[in-house]
Amino acid sequence: MPELRALLVDWGGVLTEPLETAMRSWARIDGIEFDHYTGVMREWLGQHQGELALSNPVAALERGEIEVPHFEEQFAQRLSAATGREVQAAGLVQRMFDQFADAPAMSGLVLRARRAGLRTGLLSNSWGNAYPREGWDEMFDAIVISGEVGMRKPEPAIFHHALELLDVAPGETVFVDDLRVNILAAAELGLVGVHHTSYDETAAELEALFGVPLRE
């Protein structure tokens, strides 16, 4: 087995608090039933996970193929139909991402991994949102944002692109994500996948894999 020497991590749900926590907070503020939100997501994403999903508005947004206002119009229209009342389209994505709270413990872990000599990278599917990039130069050797490269997880091409930037082979890389579909896609390419559910569990697993202390 090749020596593990690179750590590739997701942003939303890994370097932030859980995705569901943020989305529930946004839904509450916008007066939307959370089940209505998840229903629209299932309609758009459910049958497309692991496929190219060319006609999927979420996939198109994540690849940067449509502008945020266009997506917001479609999303608000679907939510309005589900809730029976008008959902404001303008600023919808920003209102959602305003609810994402940083997970400083995970950011600290990535920083310690890099200082320990590991190659580190970020691999994130973007919704056209602005990222809080302060400190990223210290944390990462490579940053891959889906909308900036025209690819998205779980498509193999975006993993290959990240590996190329890190100058590592799949078998030398550990990938951390909160979505199993992305972990499975990475594992099929030969990366070692870690499904993130909590800091303590992920930190313990990464320490075991790399053989270096990563917790303070």
pLDDT per residue over 159-191, tens digit each? 999 999 999 999 999 999 999 999 999 999 999
Residues of the chain with CATH 3.40.50.1000: 6-17+101-210
**pLDDT, position 55:** 61
pLDDT per residue over 137-165, tens digit each? 999 999 999 999 999 999 999 999 999 99
Question: What value does the mean pLDDT of the chain take?
Answer: 93
Mean pLDDT of 13-26: 96
Count other Cβ atoms within 10 Å, centred on residue 86. Answer: 10
What CATH number matches the domain at 6-17+101-210, 3.40.462.20, 3.40.50.1000, 3.30.70.360, 2.40.30.10?
3.40.50.1000
Mean pLDDT of 3-18: 97
Question: Which of 2, 4, 3, 11 has the alpha carbon at shortest distance from 139?
Answer: 11
For the entire predicted model, the pTM comes to 0.93
pLDDT per residue over 30-58, tens digit each? 999 999 999 998 888 765 444 444 468 89
